A and B are shown apart, each in its own frame.
Chain A
Amino acid sequence: MSVSLALIPIALTLRVVMGKKNFHNWAESMQLKVPTTFKNELELVRTVRKAGYDAEKWGGSFKTHLDGGQSYFFWEQIDGIWTAVFGKSDSQQEMESFMAEINRVAGREIFETGASLPPANMTVRQVEAAPTFPTNFRDGELLFRTLKEFGINPVRHGSGIVCKVEDSVLTFRQSGDGPFHVEIRNAPDLQKVFFYLSDVDDDYKRRLQSMVYEKLKARAAERNMTVESEEVLEDNSIVLTLNIRS
């Protein structure tokens, strides 16, 4: 052995932990988006690092840790604008102090709100008007197929996907090649929607596993690599050993 790697398919990001036991964490991931005036990715990364924070590339977005690494948020390009996407439960004081520091280091107003967030109660009200949550999905085609196989009737609206689950309307939106967000309207029982989305998340990942496996076999053959062995383990992971011809 000489090198070992951990990878994630570009169709996936590891933003949210779904599953029936994680409803509370998911509810807390409800988002607060603050647009910036960063001109490009390079300026964002340089400024954030200069301010003493990290900006780690993370599945089509960037991840920055706050509070000495205790919490984090993501930077996403939404409609061409680099936007800080905080969680509903993030400390407002921490966010404000972060934004003020970024403005100071940049020497101009990076955050359009003038380094201040709306009052906490107002933020929650605004967010609750159209609650938006992060997802792990990055491949629109795969998401569409997964939703369709679930027996609901997804409809494309521009780059978004809309579907109805019982009385709730779910709208999946993506910016660039970043992860999809889901906007949930008319959800009398948010937990029920979360359970539904957890099942979609599981199924999406299973389909992705199978897609990656099929692609790998086809591409390996194209590169003149042969399959030495393959097996499915107890945890349903697929192990393939390929021979490299030098």
Chain B
Amino acid sequence: MSKKQIQIRIFPDGQIKAEVIGIKGKSCTAYIEVLEQLLDAETIDSGYTPEYYETEQTEILQQQVNVLRNE
């Protein structure tokens, strides 16, 4: 199991980049607010990395299976 981590890079011009690592699916988005509180900062851009979509795809497939079962 991969470690759950946050990597934060604070630039000398004040800008900040952060990545949440090892947390799959939608639960990683909860860390956006945590990061804003930790850093006293506002998010100006965000993106999901492949890991997020892998898990999302699994969830969608599961939903499709459930729909088929109910039909």
Which of A's residues lie within 8 Å of B, judged by CB? 1-12, 14, 59, 136, 205-206, 208-209, 212-213, 215-216, 219-220, 223, 225, 228, 233, 235-246
Contact = CB atoms under 8 A, between A and B. Distances in A.
Given A59-B42, A237-B9, A212 B23 contact: no
Given A4-B17, A4-B49, A212 B9 contact: no
A184 B22 CA distance: 51
Contact of A2 (B8, B41, B51): B51
Contact of B17 (A5, A228, A235, A241): A5
Given A5-B45, A212-B41, A244 B18 contact: no
A240 B29 contact: no
B39 A216 contact: yes
A212 B10 contact: yes
Contacts of B9: 233, 237-240
A3 B29 contact: yes
A7 B28 contact: no
Given A8-B41, A238-B9, A239-B9, A1 B49 contact: yes
A5 B43 contact: yes
A2 B15 contact: no
A13 B25 CA distance: 31
A201 B42 CA distance: 20
Contacts of A12: 14
